[in-house]
Structures are given as structure tokens and as C-alpha cells.
Chain A
Amino acid sequence: MAAPTSTVDLSAALITVPVPIGHWLAILPVAHCITLGAVLLMLRGYPRLQAWLAIPGLAALALIDAALLAKVAADGPLTMVMGRWLPPFGIAFTVDLFGALMAFTAALAALAGGIYALADIGESGRRYGFFPLLMLLMAGVTGAFLTGDIFNLYVWFEVLLISSFGLIILGSEREQIDGALKYAVLNLIATTLFLVGVGILYAAFGTLNMADIAAKAGDLRGTAPLMTLASLFLLAFGMKAAAFPVNFWLPAAYHTPRIVVSALFAGLLTKVGIYALIRVMVMLLPVERQELSPVIALAAAATIVVGALGALAENDIRRLFGYVVISGIGNMLAGVALGGLGGISGAVFYALHSMVLMTALYLAAGEIARRGGGFSLSALGGLYRQSGGFTALSLVLFLAACGLPPFSGFWPKVILVKASLDLGAWWLAASILVGGFLTTIAFGRLFLLAYWRPAAIALTPSGPRWRTGLPLAALTALVIGFGILPEQLLALSQSAAAGLADPQAYLHSVFPEGRAP
């Protein structure tokens, strides 16, 4: 009796040709972060060496992401699959312009944060693992931006979440434990909700690959509970991003950790939520997004106004900035609600601007506290008298956060207001403008009290330090650059939005010969 011979043709399910070298770029950022994180973890006992490895490592991450962005911008979406199995069997990393842009900007923000941490995180913080946790956080953030599989997205969410728990607790002060508890519980619930969504999605589609889902959503619309799915994802990612009714964990937690940790959280984590929301709602479930858009628009308007009002009522500048983060999230949500090329490209541009700006704002808050001796608006004063250069730099950041020209916050708001007026959503346009106006008042008062008011106590003249000044100046230069020369970024975010609205290129990159099963 002859042994049964297998006649399965695996070539349809496997990669049979060698992978081009350039495609490895898709997973290189994540592999780099995890490797470096592991090496840094082993160097626990050598805090000095950790910093010497981490900063070049973050710079290398930025370079890899830049190369990836250049490749994706030139050749279109890029897919790398694990274990030679083609999707939907293998887990795919699919990088389109949107993901690559977000990953590159995140790497820049992390590099600035890493350099700032040289001065901000002392020996004990390094012993408790600041740099390894930072690298693992970047692995989670970058992985979330680059993955093409929705369960994989959940895993990267968890990677960044567990690293962020470690970072937020660094120092173990009472405030930090209190803030971390609220942050941890609410974020864990949000991620679990996301997992519920993934479970129902799998039951409905039988696949977890994003390209596969996008291709199949049209056929399943009549039978599968896609509206339930879209609402679940909206709630889960809205919670992650701190959108209006579920935003209260953010101002409760973001002012407690070390300032550089706050900066990285404000710059990166809420934007991962927005990224996932745009990816799922715009690319995978466009019809449901259209139907849900009144709800999203309402949440967006409320987020903008509540954030701006919260900023007006705060005395602690870190909490004030926390509310500014929330207000910015509202603007991005407004873009998601509007949809279309204008809305999505506005949201993408705003997300990129916000990553750089929020990191810079919190770093500036650290610098304000170092120069002025605290975070309380009622005690600060005399910063202008002390240093004109730092005042000018802060003013640039404040104006960019208000959305005033010629800095980076202006352009995405113009796009968003124009998009909402084109659709006749005048109240959304009004809430964006009113939010900008209220934020301007909040920042105007911050500037008046902390910079112009004569100092109550004699401030010791304290000069710039390169470890804090350099990243702050570099991020501010980016903010100015985005504002004065927006054409390039505008074009990039428009083609990113076009790629999301019509994901043919994305699908083609995952299933090259239209081999969708």
C-alpha cells in the first residue's frame, strides 16, 4: 500500500519568489525597536551606557522610517508577510503612505523625547527601565502604524499599553500611582472593547487581514452586523484617543508622570487611537462611517469645545496642555466625521502636526518649570525677563496650538473648516473656530501670567541646556517649517487620504494578482 502523496499546491498560499531587499523595510522599524529594547533591558546595570545606545538607536529608527516613507511615497504600498505565508493565512505588515507618515513623525517625536530624557530622567529612572520601556513603546506605536492585520493591531496596542504603564509609574510618587490606576484601568477597558470588536469581526468575516476585510465588506453589508462593529470600534478608539464622553482619564493621568513621559504620551498615544479609528472607519467600513458621521461630528464638536473650556479653567500648565490635547483630538475627529478627501487629509495633517506640537508643548512645560520653579499659573512669572529666546520659542508653540498662521496648526484647520463648509456643516466649522478662539484665550492668559507678569520671587538666571534646548528647538523648527512650507506635507497627506478612501493600491499590494480568496 503506497503512502498517500500530498498533491496540495502550496504555491498559491506561499511566497515562492525571494523577497526584495526593500520590502524588509516594512518590518525593520519594529524589529529594530524590539531588539534594542531587549539589549537595553540587559544593560539595566549600566544606566550611562543605556543612554549612549538609546539615542543613536532612536536616530536610526527615524532614519529607517524616513527610508520607508521615501520608498512608500515612490512605489506605493508595501507588504511584507510573516513566515512566507501569503495573506489571509500569514500576518501581513502593510505600509501605506498614511502609516509611513505617522511612523516617521512618531520616530522624530521619540528622538526628541529621548534626548530630553538625558536631562529629565535621572539615574533611578534609568535603573527602573526608562530607555527599554521607551524602545518597547516605540515598537508598539510603530507596529500599530505599520501592521496590516487587525488582530496584530490589537497586539501592538497591548505592547504600547504595557510599556506606557511602566513609563507612567516611573518614580512611584503618590500622584503617579493615583493617575496610573485610572489610566491603566480605562485604557485596558478600551483595548478589551477593541478585542470584542475583533472577535465579532472575525465571526462575521472569517478573516483578520485588513485588505481582505476591505475587499469583503461590500458583499457582507446585508447580513453581517457591520454597524455594531463600527460603533464598537468608534467607542474603543474614541476612548483611546480621549474623545468627548470618554475623555476623563486623560487630564486625570497625563500631568502625573515625568515631563518627558507626558510629552511622549501626548504626542504619540492618542494619535495611535486616531490612526486606528481612521484606518478602520475610513478604509474598512466606509459606508458605516458615512452613517455614523452625525454621531462622530457631535462627539468631535463636543470634544473641541470641552477641551478648550477645560484648558481655560486650569491652573496647572500640564493639565492645561492635557485639555489642549483633547481639543486637538476633536479636530481630528471632525475630519473623520466629514470624510471625503478634504476631511481625511485634514485629519492626517492635523495628526502629524499634533504629534510634533504636543511633544514640544510638554517639553516646553518642563522647561517652564525648570526656569520658573513650578507648574502653577498662580505662582509663575517673569519668564520673559529671564530669557527672550525661550519666550519666542514658546510663543511659536502656543500660536501653533491655537491654529494661528504662519505656524503648523493653521493649515489643517483651514482644510477642515473648508471641508465642513463645503458639506454645509456650518456648526462643525463654527466649533472648530470657536475652539481655536477659546484655546487662544487660554494660551494668551498662560503667556500673560507666566511670561509677562513680573516674577513674585527672584528667578535665578538659568541658561539653556543643550539636552533640553536642542530637542525643543528642533521640534519648534519643525512646527515653523510645517507652517511656512506646507505644500509638501499637504500633498503627502492628500495622497495618504486618497489611498485610504480608495484602497485599491493597498489591496493590490497584499494580493498582487487579485488572488483574494
Chain B
Amino acid sequence: MEPLLAILVGLFFAAAIYLMLSKFSIRIMLGIAILGNAVNLLLFTGGRLTREVPPIIPAGLDSLPAGTANPLPQALILTAIVISFSFLAFLLVLTYRAYQDLGTDNTSDMRAAEPDDRPLPPSGY
């Protein structure tokens, strides 16, 4: 199970990095969305991967029997999902607003903060 998920995580990362290298901001956003999922899967794979053995302590036992699922990565992923979802929402709104105000989604043309023809500092009085 782990090797399969590891390959999937690798594919997700590759797709995310490919998309983030684009110069169009909407593709970068898609890349970030995939990146968030890649990391969540990575966290998930980092814990134990088991099928259909929920982490419930059976009656009469004191601790989890061996081979049960690890609940902690799921708690971590839950946190990470909430965070990456909220950030993606913010970034999508920001991208849309940037598209409206700057009139482009091409990051090479987004030069409002750093104009191309910035003056050099004066070399004398």
C-alpha cells in the first residue's frame, strides 16, 4: 500500500511543481491546490497504513492492539486541510482581485509594485 501511495504523492508533487512554474496566476493556484493535497497524502502515508482496522480499544484491553490505524496523522491532516483550504480560498479571491485591478493574470506583466523603468538613485547632488 505504501509504495502505491508514495508514487501517487510523487505524481501530485510533480504536477503541482509543473503548474506552479507557470507564469499564469490561475495555474499557480491550481498547483497550490494540488500541492496541498500532495502534502496531506504524504502526512497520511507517514503514519501506519492499514485497511479496515479502526483505532478503537476493544473491551477488556488497555491499549490499541497491534496493527490498528494510527489516528494522529488523520488529526494532523484535518488541521492541514482546514488551513490549506482557507488559504486557497483567500488566494483565489486575491488572484481574482489582482486580475480585475491589474488587468492581467500573467505574472510577467504584474509590475505595479516593481515597475520596469525604476529610476536609479541619483549619483550626485
List residues of A whose CB falls within 8 A of some B CB.
4, 6-8, 151, 155, 158, 161-162, 165, 169, 172, 174-182, 184-185, 188-189, 192, 195-196, 198-200, 202-203, 252-253, 255-256, 313-316, 376-378, 445, 448-449, 453
Contact = CB atoms under 8 A, between A and B. Distances in A.
Given A162-B87, A184-B90, A174 B43 contact: no
A185 B32 contact: yes
Given A155-B79, A162-B86, A202 B73 contact: yes
Given A184-B91, A313-B120, A377-B121, A252 B42 contact: no
A151 B74 CA distance: 13
A192 B20 CA distance: 13
Interface in B23-75: 25, 28, 32, 35-36, 39, 42-43, 45-47, 59-60, 62-63, 72-73
Nearest to A380: B122
A192 B85 CA distance: 12
Contact of A177 (B60, B101, B121): B101
Interface string B109-125: 01111100011111001
Given A189-B35, A192-B32, A256-B113, 12 more contacts: A158-B87, A165-B90, A172-B97, A176-B113, A182-B113, A188-B32, A189-B32, A196-B39, A199-B39, A199-B46, A202-B73, A449-B122
A453 B95 contact: no
A177 B102 contact: yes
Contacts of A203: 45-47
A315 B118 CA distance: 8
Main secondary structure on A side of the interface with B: helix
A313 B121 contact: yes
Contacts of A7: 62
A377 B35 CA distance: 42
A185 B91 contact: yes
B83 interface: yes
10 contacts: A4-B59, A165-B94, A174-B102, A174-B112, A175-B112, A184-B90, A184-B94, A189-B20, A202-B72, A202-B73
A311 B46 CA distance: 44
B120 A178 contact: no
Contacts of B35: 189, 192
Bin the interface of chain B by size: 35 or more
A189 B16 CA distance: 11
Interface in B6-30: 20, 25, 28
Contact of B98 (A4, A158, A177, A449): A177
Contact of B63 (A8, A182, A315, A377): A8
Contacts of B112: 174-175, 177-178
Main secondary structure on B side of the interface with A: helix
Contacts of B90: 162, 165, 184
B121 A180 contact: no
Nearest to B87: A188
A449 B122 CA distance: 8
Nearest to A195: B39
A177 B28 contact: no
Contact of A200 (B46, B62, B110): B46
A181 B121 contact: no
A181 B80 contact: no
A315 B121 CA distance: 4
A4 B60 contact: yes
Most central of B60, B83, B111 by chain A CB within 10 Å: B83
Contact of B47 (A202, A255, A314, A376): A202
A256 B86 CA distance: 24
Nearest to A251: B114
Nearest to A202: B46
A449 B113 contact: no
Contacts of B59: 4
Given A162-B90, A199-B43, A252 B121 contact: no
A176 B43 CA distance: 34
Contacts of B43: 195, 198-199, 202
A448 B122 CA distance: 11
Given A8-B62, A195-B39, A178 B113 contact: yes
A165 B125 CA distance: 39
Given A178-B111, A188-B32, A199-B42, A445 B121 contact: yes
Most central of B46, B113, B114, B119 by chain A CB within 10 Å: B113
B67 to A, nearest CB: 15
Contacts of B39: 192, 195-196, 199
B95 A181 contact: yes
Contacts of A378: 119, 121-122
Contacts of A453: 125
Nearest to B25: A181
Given A8-B62, A195-B39, A202-B73, A255 B46 contact: no
Contacts of B28: 185
B120 A179 contact: no
Given A162-B86, A185-B32, A378-B121, A174 B46 contact: no
A188 B119 contact: no
B36 A192 contact: yes
A48 B29 CA distance: 38
A378 B63 CA distance: 72
Contacts of A448: 125
Most central of B25, B42, B114 by chain A CB within 10 Å: B114
A90 B44 CA distance: 20
Given A7-B62, A199-B43, A378-B122, A181 B94 contact: yes
